[in-house]
Structure 1
Amino acid sequence: MTRPAEGYARVSAAPGALTRVPVSGFLRVISGLTGWRRLGLAWLSGAFGALAMPPFGALPALVVSLTVAVWLMDGAAADRPALRRLWLGFLIGWAWGFGYLTAGLWWLGQAFLVEADEFLWALPLGVIGLPFGLGLFYGAGFGAAGLLWRRGWGRIAALALGVGAAEWLRGHLFTGFPWNTLGMALAQNLWLMQGAAGIGLYGLTVLAILICAAPATLATVPDPAGRFGPSAAAALLLVALALFGAERLGPPDPVVAGVRLRLVQPNLPQDAKFRPENRADIVDRYIELSQRPVEAGQPEPTHIVWPESAFPFLIQRDPDALAKVAAGLKPGQHLVTGAARAEEPLPGERLRYFNAILVIGPDGVISDSYDKVHLVPFGEYLPGPLDAALRALGLRQFVAVPGGFSAGARAAQRILAVPGLPPVAATICYEAIFPGAILPAGRAAPASSPPGLILNVTNDAWFGDTPGPRQHLAQARLRAVEEGLPLVRDANTGISAVIDPHGRITAQTPLDQETWLDADLPARIVGGTLYGRFGDAAFAVMLAACLVGAVTGRRR
C-alpha cells in the first residue's frame, strides 16, 4: 500500500479503502500525534475550552477546543478495531476533561486557604484530584463516541451523543456535580439561554457540542456537502436559537403586587470574626442593614432575606437572639434566613444538624423551615464509607458541625410557606445548579399551589473574588428559565440578585461588598415551561437523534 501524498490525510471511506483528502499541515500534525503528546494537547485544548464558561463566555474557545478534540480522535480512531478506538477515545476524553475542569474549577482551592492550618494539605485533592476523577466521565463519553467513529459528519453526532450522555451522568452519579456543564457555553447569552425552557441544560449541552465541533469537518471530509454542510447547519442552528430567544423574551415580566424584597448582603468573612462568641455583633449587623431607610418614593420592604448560615449559632435555641431579630422587624414584615437547625435525636442517636432556611415573623415565631437536601460531600458531611476512617485520623468536613449536617427529606420539603409570598421553591447553596431538581419529586407541585419563585440562599465567601461566585450565579440563573419562575438569590458576599423567569437580571449587587438590595418580585410564567412539565424528555430524544445520525453517517 502506498503512503498518502504530502498534504493529504488517510480517510476510511469503506472497509479496506482509502480516500485522499487535502488537509492543512497543522491538521496533519494534530491527527498524527501519539502517546503523551496526544494526551498533552487534549489536556491543553480542554483547558482552553474552559474560557467558554463564566465569567469569560468566549464561545469560540469551545469551538477551537472541540475541533482539536475531533482531530485528535481522527488520528486515534483511523483504521483501528472497535476496542482500540474505545480505549484511545477514553484516554483522549479523560485528558480533555481533566484539562477543561482543572482550568474551570481551579478556584475551589480558595476554600482550602480559609482554614489553611487544617485544610491546606488537601488543596491538591480539590484542585487536581477532583478534575482528575471527573475527567473519567468525559473519557467514557469520548470512548463511546469512538465506537461509532468514522470520518465524516456522523462523528460530530457521535461526539454529541457520547459526551452529552456523559455530562448527564456527571450531574447525577455519586451525588452529582453538574458544574460548568458544556451547555453553559450557550446559556450565558440572554437570547440563547431561552432554549432551556424547552430542552433544559442538558439539551443545550448537546446543541453546544454539535455547534462547536462542526467546524472540524471543514478540513477532513472529502465531498463539499459533507465538508461545509455541518458548519452551515451549525450556524443556522445558532441563529435559529437566537431568534427563538429574542421572540420569547418579549416585554418585561409583571411583578407580584404587594411584595417588596430586601436582600441583605453582610459580606461576613469565613474567619475568626464568624464565631459564636461574636453572635451579638453579627446579629446587630444584620438588623442594621435590614433597617436601612428605603429610597425616596419606594415602599417599605415586606420581606427581608438573609443568606445561608447567617448565624454561627443555633438561633432556634437562643431565645434572646430570636427576640432581638423579631424586634428588628417592622409590623407585617417577615424574615427568611439561612440558619443551622438542630433536631432532637431519637433514643440512642446523636443530635442531628441541618443546613436550613427559617421563616420568622415579627412575633418571633418560626413558622416554617426547609432543610437542605443535596449536601456538599466533604464540605458539609463526610461520605458514609469514609466517615469513620477520616474522623479517626482527626479529619472533618469544612463546616465545623459535630458529625456533619444531615440531609433533609427529599419528597415534601421543597415548597416553603412564607406569609405574603407565593409558594417558595427553596434551594440552599449549590442545590440551584441541578437541573430538574428545583421542584419536589414528581416534577410539579399541586395545581392549587404552584410555586411562584425560586429562593436560593448561599455563602460564597469560601471562594473570594474568583470565577466561582460568578459561575454559581450563572447556573442558578438558568434554573429560572428552565422552570419559568423568578429567582431570588441572596449571597453572603454576593452576588445577590433578583432574576425574572426569562433570565433577565432585574437587580443585583456587586461582589465582596456589604450592602442590601431592594427589589420587586417578578411574576411566574403562567402555565410554566415545557422543561418544567417534562424535564429531560427532550434531551433523551436529542440523544436518540444523535445516535441515528452517528449510525447513518458511519454507514455512508
Structure 2
Amino acid sequence: MLSHGWRRFLLLVVAGALAGLSIPPLFIVPTLFVAFPIWVWCLDGAERKSGLRRLFGPAFSIGFAFGWGYFTVAFHWLGAAFFVDGGVMIALMPFAILALAALIALFWGAASALAHLLWSHGSWRILTLATFVTIAEWARGHVLTGFPFDLLGYALTPNDEMMQITSVIGIYGLTFVAALLAMTPALIWPADNRPLSRRLLPIFLALGVIAAQLGYGYNRLAGTTATPRQDVSMRLVQPMVYEHADWGSADPVALIDRLLMLSDMRMNPEDQGLADITHLVWPESSLPFFLSAYPDALARIARMLPDGAMLLAGAPRQQYEPGDATSGQPFNSLLAIDNNGEVVASYDKSHLVPFGEFLPFQEFFGRLGIKQFVPGAEGWGHGDARRRLMNLPNTPKFLALICYEILFSGDLGDTAGAQYILNITNDAWFDGSIGPAQHAHHARVRAVEEGMSLIRAANSGLTFSTDPLGRITAELAPLQMAALDVRPDQRLASTVFSQVRYWPLLIVLGAGLLVSVAVSRGGRKRRTR
C-alpha cells in the first residue's frame, strides 16, 4: 500500500513520467522496471468501492495517473508543431499536450480498473495487469482511427537485434512481454515469508527473456542475407520545403526549381544523375500547391525524367467533375508521374491524423475556432486503403504509405502482394524534437514485421532505406538538403508475423483473462472460509 489521495496520484504521475523515458529514441529501458512495480503496489492497496466507483474509483485513477505521466513524456514532442504558427499557439501548447495525454491515459485507467476487478495478491496479479494493459494499448491503436505512437513494446526495440522478435510476435505481442517483464520487480514485496532467492527469481527470469530476445535477434541477423533488387533504382530527395505550413507563401516556380536541381544533382564524379534511376521520390508535402496552380510543372518534370523513369511525388490532389469543376475535399496524395508528364496513378492517404488533417466533430470544434494543422479548406478527404498496393508499369508492386500510416502494425494493406514499402512523410512540423527519430524508428519495426525493405523519403529527415531486417542501409542526415540513391532488397519469405498476425496474441490474452478469473475466484473462496 503506497499512500492515498493526491499523494498517491502525484506519485503515480511521476512514476509514469519516469517510465516514459523508455520511449524511442531515448530508450532508458531500466525506468520501466522501476516505475511499473509502483503501479502494481498501488493497486495492491487500492480501496474497493461499489457501484460505478468500482470501475471509476481509486483503481481507475491509479492507472489514469500513471498513464498521464507516461503519455505526457511520450508525446511532448508534438508541442513542436505549435511553434510553427507561434503567437498564442505557443501559450496553448502545454495545455494541449496535457489534454492529449489525459485523453489517451483513459485507456490505461480502464485497464487498471478492470484488472482490479480480478485482482489477487499473489504472483498472478502481474499477469492480470499486463493482460489488460496490452488490451488497452490495442484499443488506443484502433479506437477512433487509432493513435499507436509509443506502444509499450517499442521500449524493447533499442537495437537491430532486439527488433527481430517483432517478425514473430509483432509490436503488440512485444507490448505484452514488456508489460509483464517490467512488473516482475513488484513480486519482491510483500515478502509473504518467502526467501529472498525466491522473490528475486522472477527478475532473473525477466533478464533471461531479454537475453533470449537478444540471442534470437543476433542469430536472425547473422543467418539472413539481404539481396538488393536490380530492377529498381531510386533517388530520394530531402528538399526542406517549409511552405507546407502556409500555402499562401508557396512560390511554385521556386519550389519546382529547387526540386529539379536536387533531383538531377551529381553527388560525386561517377554519379550519372537520373540516367540510371527508375524511380525519383519527392516526399509528402514537397508540392504544397495543386498542380493546376502551376500548369508548367508537369512539362518541366517530363523534360527532366529519362525514358522509362517515374516520379513519385507527395502532393495534394483535387477531384474534378466534367466541366473542370472541383468536387469534394482534396486528398493528401502520392502521385505517379511518367516521363511524358502524365499522372498515371495515385494513392490518396486513407488514415488521416485527427486534428492534423481532419477535424473530428468539425461543427463543434469549428465554433470554438479550432482547425486542423495541415492546410486544406475543409479538411482532407479519406482515400481508399485498397489502393495502397501500387502496380505501376515496368516496376514491382510496392506498398505506398503516407506519413503515420506506417504506424499501424498488421494493418498496412495488401502486404502479401508487395515487394517493398515506400513511406513518404513530412516531419518538418516537429524539427528540433525527438519526433522525427521516433517516427522513423516505428517505421523500421514495420519493415521487420513484414520482412520487406523500407524506403523512406522525408521532407527534412529522416530519409533512409532499410533491408528487410530493419537495418539502415543508406541515409541522409536530418535537416540536410540533398538526395540519396538506394535500391530496395528482395523481400524475405513470409515472416511468422505476416502469416499469423495477432491471433497467437489474442489466444495469450484470452488465456491471461481465464487465469485471472480463476485465481481471483479461488482467492475469494479462501477468504470466505
Q: Same fold by TM (over 0.5)?
A: yes
Task: After TM superposition, give the deviation of residue 275 of structure 1 in Å.
Answer: 4.2
Moved more, 89-98 or 347-356: 347-356
Partner of 1:325: 301
Is 2:422 aligned against 1:455?
yes
User: Structure 2 residue aligned with 1:191, among 152, 161, 164?
Assistant: 161
Whole-Å separation in 2 of the counterparts to 1:205 and 1:378: 27
Is 2:186 aligned against 1:211?
no
C-alpha change, 1:89 and 1:273, in structure 2 (3 Å) is closer
Counterparts of residues 44-123 of structure 1 (less than 5 Å): 44-76=14-46, 86=55, 87-117=57-87, 119-120=89-90, 122-123=92-93
Is 2:388 aligned against 1:414?
yes
Whole-Å separation in 1 of the counterparts to 2:363 and 2:265: 47
Structure 1 vs Structure 2: percent identity of aligned residues? Answer: 39
Whole-Å separation in 2 of the counterparts to 1:143 and 1:345: 53
**Helix, strand or coil for the counterpart of 2:116?**
helix
Is 2:258 aligned against 1:285?
yes
**Helix, strand or coil for the counterpart of 1:191?**
helix
Whole-Å separation in 2 of the counterparts to 1:256 and 1:359: 20
**Aligned residues of 1:270 and 1:461 also touching (Cα < 8 A):** no
Task: After TM superposition, give the deviation of residue 295 of structure 1 in Å.
Answer: 3.6
Unmatched runs of 5 consecutive residues or more in structure 1: 1-30
Q: Residue type of the partner of 1:168?
A: W
Q: Render the CA deviation track for 1:343-380: whole Å, top value 9, x for unaligned.
A: 02599995320000011111111111100000111111
Moved more, 354-363 or 395-404: 395-404
**Aligned residues of 2:250 and 2:289 also touching (Cα < 8 A):** no
Whole-Å separation in 1 of the counterparts to 2:190 and 2:427: 45
Is 2:7 aligned against 1:37?
yes
Task: After TM superposition, give the deviation of residue 182 of structure 1 in Å.
Answer: 0.2
User: Structure 2 residue aligned with 1:399, among 345, 360, 374?
Assistant: 374
Whole-Å separation in 1 of the counterparts to 2:393 and 2:148: 33
Is 2:282 aligned against 1:312?
no
Is 2:133 aligned against 1:160?
no
Is 2:224 aligned against 1:247?
no
Counterparts of residues 351-362 of structure 1 (less than 5 Å): 351-362=328-339
Q: Render the CA deviation track for 1:175-218: whole Å, top value 9, x for unaligned.
A: 11011010111123222221111211110000001111111112
User: Structure 2 residue aligned with 1:431, among 390, 398, 405?
Assistant: 405
Partner of 2:501: 535
C-alpha change, 1:496 and 1:226, in structure 2 (3 Å) is same
Task: After TM superposition, give the deviation of residue 73 of structure 1 in Å.
Answer: 1.7
Whole-Å separation in 1 of the counterparts to 2:77 and 2:437: 11
Whole-Å separation in 1 of the counterparts to 2:206 and 2:519: 17
**Aligned residues of 1:354 and 1:372 also touching (Cα < 8 A):** yes
Whole-Å separation in 2 of the counterparts to 1:82 and 1:395: 37
Moved more, 249-258 or 194-203: 249-258
Is 2:232 aligned against 1:265?
no
**Aligned residues of 1:262 and 1:518 also touching (Cα < 8 A):** yes
Report the RMSD for the aligned CA atoms in angstroms: 2.4
**Aligned residues of 1:465 and 1:512 also touching (Cα < 8 A):** no
Q: Residue type of the partner of 1:427?
A: L
User: Structure 2 residue aligned with 1:546, among 499, 509, 512?
Assistant: 512
Whole-Å separation in 2 of the counterparts to 1:272 and 1:531: 38
User: Structure 1 residue aligned with 2:347, among 363, 367, 370?
Assistant: 370
Whole-Å separation in 2 of the counterparts to 1:183 and 1:395: 33
Whole-Å separation in 1 of the counterparts to 2:508 and 2:402: 31
Task: After TM superposition, give the deviation of residue 298 of structure 1 in Å.
Answer: 6.0
Task: After TM superposition, give the deviation of residue 226 of structure 1 in Å.
Answer: 5.6
Whole-Å separation in 1 of the counterparts to 2:451 and 2:149: 21
Whole-Å separation in 2 of the counterparts to 1:521 and 1:138: 39
Q: Render the CA deviation track for 1:86-114: whole Å, top value 9, x for unaligned.
A: 53221110011011010111111111221
**Helix, strand or coil for the counterpart of 2:218?**
helix
**Aligned residues of 1:465 and 1:511 also touching (Cα < 8 A):** no
Whole-Å separation in 2 of the counterparts to 1:414 and 1:537: 24
Is 2:451 aligned against 1:479?
no
**Helix, strand or coil for the counterpart of 1:114?**
helix
Q: Render the CA deviation track for 1:441-472: whole Å, top value 9, x for unaligned.
A: xxx54xxxx20111111101111110111110
Whole-Å separation in 2 of the counterparts to 1:272 and 1:195: 38
Whole-Å separation in 1 of the counterparts to 2:372 and 2:410: 27
Partner of 1:390: 365
**Helix, strand or coil for the counterpart of 1:131?**
helix
C-alpha change, 1:309 and 1:272, in structure 2 (3 Å) is closer
Partner of 1:17: none
Partner of 1:379: 356
Task: After TM superposition, give the deviation of residue 119 of structure 1 in Å.
Answer: 4.0
Is 2:462 aligned against 1:495?
yes
Q: Render the CA deviation track for 1:56-80: whole Å, top value 9, x for unaligned.
A: 1111011111122212222226x88
How many positions carry a matched residue from both structures? 514
Task: After TM superposition, give the deviation of residue 491 of structure 1 in Å.
Answer: 0.6
**Aligned residues of 1:344 and 1:352 also touching (Cα < 8 A):** no
Task: After TM superposition, give the deviation of residue 294 of structure 1 in Å.
Answer: 4.5
Whole-Å separation in 2 of the counterparts to 1:85 and 1:232: 35
Moved more, 468-477 or 320-329: 320-329
Counterparts of residues 123-162 of structure 1 (less than 5 Å): 123-162=93-132
Per the normalisation by structure 1, the TM-score is: 0.87
Q: Residue type of the partner of 1:236?
A: G
Task: After TM superposition, give the deviation of residue 521 of structure 1 in Å.
Answer: 1.2
C-alpha change, 1:358 and 1:515, in structure 2 (3 Å) is same
Moved segments of 4+, more than 3 Å: 79-86, 117-122, 270-277, 294-300, 345-351, 389-395, 418-421, 548-556
C-alpha change, 1:80 and 1:552, in structure 2 (3 Å) is same
Whole-Å separation in 1 of the counterparts to 2:327 and 2:410: 33
Task: After TM superposition, give the deviation of residue 316 of structure 1 in Å.
Answer: 5.5
